[in-house]
Amino acid sequence: MKVKHYLIAASVLTAITFIAANLLVQKMFTGARIDFTENNLYTLSDATKSTLDSVAEPVDITFVYTRSTGQDFPTIRAYAARVRELLQVYESQSGGKVRVTEIDPVPFSPAEDQALAAGITAIDTNGNDPLYFGIIGRNSIDDQRVIPFLAPEREVTLEYDLTRMVARLDDPDPARVGILSSLPGMTAPGGEGGYTLLRDIHKSFDVEPISETFQSLPEDLDVLLVVQPPDLSDRQQWLIDQFILRKGRAVFLLDPAAKTAASAGMFQTSETGTSATLGRFGEAWGISLSNDAVADAASALTVPVDTGGGRIEELAHPLFLGIPAGDMNQDDLITADLARSVNFGAPGAFEVGTLSDEVEFTPLVMTGPSPSFIKAENAVTDMSPQQVLRQYQTEPEALVLAARLSGQLTTAYPQGAPAFDEPSDPLLAEIARAEAANALPHVSESETDAQLVLIADVDFVADDFYIIPNEQIIVADNGALVLNALDALAGGGELSRLRSRAPSLRRMERVDRMRENAEAIYFRQQAALQDNLQTAQARLEELQAIGAADGFFSGDLEADLTEAERTELLDLRQRIVDLRAQLREIERNYRRDIDRLEGTLKAINIWGGPMLVCLIGLFVWYRQRRRGAA
C-alpha cells in the first residue's frame, strides 16, 4: 500500500474510532459527573437518590421555559440552566423512571396552550412576549402536579420541590394526618368553623381527628399533630410513644402559657388548663419545655394595648414576638422558604438536656440575643408592656422557640405497656378490650429514624395572630410554618430528611463587605450633612427674622445683623460648602475599591489563562533546549 493511501485509510479509521468512542461513552456515561463545586450543587442528596430509586411507575416531568424571553434576564437564564441540569441528573439517577422533556411556549403555539392548560403562570415582562418558567409533572394515571413559576429566590428549596413532586406523583394518595388537640379551633369537624390553619390542613391532607378518649390511634397515619392536648392517661401516652418509635413523624405544639387552651394541657398541667409540658417524653428524649413564658424586647410586636381611660394605643409588647424569616434556620426546608415573619404569643422555650449520640436537636426559630422568662401565671393575664419590662431579667443567650428532633429515640415506657382503665360503660369497655388485644407489641427503640418538629406555642395558630380580621389577608407565615412541617414529615422517611441547598449564584462576600463599608461611610456623612443643613436652615431663618424689613426688600439680608452674626453666617455657609464637597468626594470614592477589584478580576480571568499557557510553553521549550544541549 502506498504511503498516501495508508495515510488516508488511517485518517478515516481514526475518525470512525473517535466518533464511535464518543457515542459509546455518551451512551454508557450519560449523567456521570464529578462535582467540584464548594456546596456540591450537582450532587443529589441521599434522600433524593433513595426517593428516585424507589419510584415504581414512570413519572413525566415537563420543563416549561420561554428561551427567547428568558435570554433578556441574566438571573432567569442562569437559573434555567441550573434547573435543566438538575432535571437531567434526576432522569439519569432514576434509571429512566423519571422522563424529562422541555417545551418552549412561544406565543400562539401548541406548547403555550399546553402550559396555560396546566396552570403555568404567564409572567408579564413589559415586552411583546410573556415569560413561562415552570414545571409540569404527570404520572401514568394522569395525576398532575405543577410548579407554576420557578422563582430564583426559591432555589434553596428547588431539590426538595422536585423530589416532593416525584414522590407525590409516585404515590398520589394524600397523606393522613391525625390531630389530637384540646383547642376548639383545631377540632372543628371538617375544619368548618375552626381556625384557618385547620381548614388549610383539610385541603392538603386526609385529616383524622383523634378523640380525647382514644384507646388506639388510627391505622396508617403518616403524621401525628399534637396541639395542646387534653390530659392523657398513661395508656394514651404510651400509644403516642409507640407511634413515634414505629413511624417517627409527629409535630408537637405545646405552650406553658396558652390563653387559647380550652382544657388542661398535656402531662401534669396547671389547674387553669393553660400550661403543658413534654412530661415523660421530654425525660426520654433529653428535651424539656420551660415552665415560664418568653418575652423578647428585640422582637416585640406592636399590638393594641388598653392604657386606661378607655384609650387603646399601639405599643411594642415583649410577650408578643415577631421573628423575621431571615432570622430562622435557612438550612432546614421547614423554615428556609418562609418569606414573612412568624408571630408568637407568650411562647415557651425548649431546653436541651443530655442527648444520646444518635439524636440531633436542630433549632428552627429562636429569639433575639437578650430574651427573658416571665412567670406563666402572669403571662396568661393581660400584662401591659410596662409590667413585662419591670419583670424583665435578661437571659445570657437566645432561646429556642421551635426545633427539629431527629434520630434514634428510646421509649418513655421502658417497663412496657401500661394497663388501661376500662370505661364504665360495658359497650365501651368491650371495644377498649378489643383494641388493646389488637395492639402491636411494645418496642423500646426507634424502628425508623424519628423526625419530630417541636413548637413552644399554640396561640400562634389562632387567626388573630397572622390574619387581618374580616379581610382574610395573611400578614405572617404562622400557618405556613405548621403546613411546611406537616408536608415535610408526611413525605416519608427520605423526603422528611431533605434540607435546603446552597444557591448556585454565590455572593461575592468581599465585594459585599467593601460595599457595606462604603455605604456606611456614605450614609454617615449624608446623615451628618442633613443634620447640619437643618441646623443651618433653622439658624438662617433666625438671622433673617432679625433683619429689618427694609433690608430684606432692598436685597441686603445682612443689613441689620451685628458683626458677630455676619461672621457666624459666613462660617455657616462655608461649612455647608465644605460638607457638600466632602460628600461629592465620598460619592466619587464610593465604588473606587470595588471597581479596582473588578478590574483585577477581569485581568486575571482574561489574561491569566493565556499567560499561564505561555509560561508552561516557555518552560517546556527551555527544558527541551537544555536536553538538546546536553
Share of the chain above pLDDT 90, in %: 36
Return the pLDDT at 313: 83
Return the pLDDT at 320: 94
**pLDDT surpassing 70 at residue 92:** yes
Question: In Å, how far from its chain's centre is CA 429?
Answer: 47
The b-or-e profile of 558-591 (16+ CB within 10 A means b, else e) is eeebeeebeeebeebeeebeebeeeeeebeeeee
C-alpha cell at 115: 402550559
Tell me the angle at which helices 158-170 and 74-93 cross, rounded to the nearest 10 degrees. Answer: 40
* Beta strands 122-123; 131-138: pairing state: antiparallel
Distance between CA 599 and CA 519 in Å, rounded?
Answer: 21
The b-or-e profile of 238-264 (16+ CB within 10 A means b, else e) is bbbbbbbbebbbbbbbbbbbbebbbbb
- CA-based radius of gyration for the chain: 34
Return the pLDDT at 590: 59
Asked whether the beta carbons of 181 and 211 are under 8 A apart, the reply is no
Fill in the amino acid letter for 480: A
**Quick one: pLDDT band at residue 539, thresholds 50, 70, 90?**
low
Q: Please give the mean pLDDT across all residues of the chain.
A: 81
3-state secondary structure of 416: coil
Place of cell 485509510: 9
Return the pLDDT at 453: 96
Return the pLDDT at 264: 38
Return the pLDDT at 522: 59
Return the pLDDT at 549: 42
**The Cα angle at residue 71 between residues 67 and 77, in degrees rounded to 5:** 85
Tell me the angle at which helices 196-204 and 478-490 cross, rounded to the nearest 10 degrees. Answer: 30
Distance between CA 527 and CA 422 in Å, rounded?
Answer: 75
**pLDDT surpassing 50 at residue 550:** no
C-alpha cell at 94: 432514576
Return the pLDDT at 269: 45
The pTM (predicted TM-score) of the whole model is: 0.69
Distance between CA 272 and CA 342 in Å, rounded?
Answer: 27
C-alpha cell at 129: 412576549
Place of cell 387567626: 463
**pLDDT surpassing 90 at residue 398:** yes
**For 21-46, what is the mean pLDDT?**
67
**pLDDT surpassing 80 at residue 62:** yes
Return the pLDDT at 290: 94
3-state secondary structure of 474: strand
Q: What is the pLDDT of residues 302-312, one digit of tens each?
A: 988 877 777 88
Q: What is the pLDDT of residues 489-522, one digit of tens each?
A: 886 555 666 665 656 555 566 666 666 666 566 5
**Phi, psi of 424, rounded to the nearest 5 degrees:** -70, -30
160 forms beta bridges with none
Asked whether the beta carbons of 259 and 222 are under 8 A apart, the reply is no
**Phi, psi of 249, rounded to the nearest 5 degrees:** -125, 110
**For 459-481, what is the mean pLDDT?**
88
More confident residue, 243 or 548: 243
Q: What is the pLDDT of residues 581-600, one digit of tens each?
A: 766 676 666 566 667 777 77
**Residue 134's CB: how many other CB atoms inside 10 A?**
24
Q: What is the pLDDT of residues 239-249, one digit of tens each?
A: 999 999 999 99
Q: Measured over all CA atoms, what is the biggest interatomic distance in the chain, rounded to whole angstroms?
A: 117
**pLDDT surpassing 80 at residue 112:** yes
Q: What is the pLDDT of residues 553-565, one digit of tens each?
A: 344 545 556 677 6
**For 259-278, what is the mean pLDDT?**
55
Return the pLDDT at 19: 85
